[in-house]
Amino acid sequence: MSTNPDSTETIVMSASEVREHFSEVVNRVARGEGRVIVEKHGAPAVAVVSLQDVRRLRHSDDIVAERTKFVDGVRSHFADVPDDELERQIEKAFAEMKNERRRQREPAKTAS
């Protein structure tokens, strides 16, 4: 395995190369020196990533799940509203918010 020890880049290796250099691959990734994409029959199959990367991915998954749950909850309240009507109402609400913000930014007019 020819890698630059100061590199944090992702390298690509065949499954047989990974088997041959398994402890080096694990040590490299564990030290935070990068990730390894493992190819099987010339196609990317899996990756070797640090535990820190796994934790970050799990955190991202949790955030996505929370947001999806929220959106699904909101969507359920409008299940019987046709999509085109819902889009019109959303556009109307955004236009009203923009107008309100514009009015708030205008300097107060004083009586002369």
**pLDDT by residue for the chain (112 residues), tens digit each?**
544 545 578 999 999 999 999 999 999 999 999 999 999 999 999 999 999 999 999 999 999 999 999 999 988 988 899 989 989 999 999 999 999 999 999 876 655 5
Domain ranges in the chain?
Answer: 10-49, 52-99
CATH fold of 10-49, please? YefM-like fold (3.40.1620)
Q: What is the DSSP string of the chain?
A: ----TT---EEEEEHHHHHHTHHHHHHHHHTTS-EEEEEETTEEEEEE--HHHHHHHHHHHHHHHHHHHHHHHHHHTTTTS-HHHHHHHHHHHHHHHHHHHHHHHSPPPPP-
Kindly report the pTM of this predicted structure: 0.59
pLDDT at 101: 94
